[in-house]
Structure 1
Amino acid sequence: RCGERLQLTVNAIRSDGCLARCGGQRVAATVAGRGLFSKAQPDPRPWVNDCRDGTYVVQFVCAAPGWYDIVVSLDEDPLPVCPLQIEVLPGVPNSARTELSGTGLHTCWPDEVAEFTIVSRDEFGNACTEGGSRFGVLALGSAQLLSVDDNEDGTYAVAYRVLREARRPVQLEVLLEGVPVRGSPIAPQAPWAQRAVRLPTARGRDLAAPDLADQYEAMEWLKEHPPVVLPEVPVPHFLVGEEFVDEEPPGSAARLAWPDPDDWRRLLVFREDIARARQALFEHQEVLLRVGAAVHHDFVQSQGRARHLHDRQVELGEVEARLDGVREDLWHQHIQDERRLDARWGAC
């Protein structure tokens, strides 16, 4: 695998067919990539350790996956078994080089499943091709984790969702063996949940909401909580002699039991004014709900178009990032080809 120290042992044999028991011979090795997935990393530079007992240990480390040709020479003569061919696989995932991709990293929508992908990479940035790594996702705030699926190809699909009534910030932390990966934690934007709706109360809270979605939600609250029914004003009792009765006796010298006889009449007028204002408020509320429903429908459609446009922008950004990586690989390959060509011209 990439990043692992690979080694092979060379046993020197004398001309009489016996093993050499002393060192000092000139042993050299070259390792050249063939059909590599990426040319961004240079070819390995092997080093030879003379054990002074007729054996020589060749060691090297590969930084890019693919096939390699190993040529070992003794006194400038290649060994008969050379070139040796080996296949090097990508290394184990590294948290500092692992990447996250997908639209679910940037935006989430209420009651819909959002997804993003964990692309595991080794310490050299090579994409891993096998699963089985211990990736974990911790959902914080209003996020609800649904699944983390191992695709068995070095990628992991993460699905989560956020409820419409959620008001806390959305945040997810991606971990590899308990260590956060690059770009973690992520905080997708939830446009509909940026602020809480301020509902009307008897204590005089502000009815105005900060955005259209909250205004419509406040109107829905009004629809479920219509104005309260006004209580009836109790009929006053009349005092006749030492007893209270419900009706005034005709021809008697009875009087109201209220401190001021006009209080009850003013209370009746005030209640009638409140009843008329309540009816007008109810009619205005019906009109607002009808208009608000139409506006909310247009608002939802505009949100869908904005979401589609945002997803397309994210996809174009990912394509641009991949093109930049291909461009960088081609540039490194061009530089290495020029160096090889210069070396050949110099040898000629």
Structure 2
Amino acid sequence: MASPAPHERIVLDDDVLRHSLDQSPDGLLICDADGTIMYANTALCVMTGYRASELIGGPIERLVPADRRDHHVARRRGYAEQPQIRPMGRGLTLSATRADGSEVPVEISLSPIEGPRGTMTIASVRDISERLADAEKLRDTHEALALSGERERIARDLHDTVLQRLFGLGLELQALGVKAASDVAPRLETAVDEIDRIIKEIRTSVFTLGAARRDGSLGQEIGTILAQSSRVLGFAPRLRIEGPVENMVGPALRPDLTASLREALANVARHSEATEASVEIVLEDVLLTMRINDNGKGLPHPESRSSGNGLQNLRARALGHRGYCTVSSEPGRGTSVEWVVEVG
């Protein structure tokens, strides 16, 4: 069969045209000048939950959210006076009402066509739910990156300026204490001790703030464990980290460290009836010490300090890194778990 010449028009019969409309991936509606629906394709029906027979012959406002129907009638009449190919609601987020009353965000384009009942309008309706969800995820990612950058800056400023100034202040107070009168020296010593505690707390903040930017970091994982535990404990455990823990804890040790922390906090939640708990992770030379202290009821019997799968797991993980785990407890005076391992 010879191909038609470029200037020849290809005439499609009604069945081909209807099939093309029905198979369109976008929802299609045809309305007359009064807003009566003359045609709705399969995609439009799937999108809205209506059958075509429920839509055809009814007003287009059936698909418009109730609080915008009056406004839509006025806009539709204005379009009928000056019909043209254009997007609908440029710059706005439009919605279509489903049969169940819910709404779906849509993008709509309008085109006038001539039909047996005069000028009609064909509306192409596209569900943009996934696009909006992707855009929301992208915004969340950008906000998270911006927040991480700000937290990294704060951590850097704390380390580079605040810590150094506090350290210098402590040295000055120590020097004054040597020359101070006997009644003043103890007060200066107390002030130096307080500065030392503040420095340790800031170092912990630097560790957790800086780690927030590094997705999957040890600091981030420790923070997640504490947040999860707080929901079970009913309070947030205090955290103190000292030393270059993030840099020195490698992939071989990290899973056992975090698993042991989870196990120890789970024991606090299960047995201690505590109202306070603290976690200290200190790295000195090649030894990493993790202490979990609580103010709970303690362990009533010495044998209970070595029994139970939880404590056995803690000891086994420590032994795997040439370390040990001890439990100190007295009835009514809380429990302290000390988990010590070699790093490197």
> Structure 2 length as normaliser, TM-score?
0.25
> Structure 1 length as normaliser, TM-score?
0.25
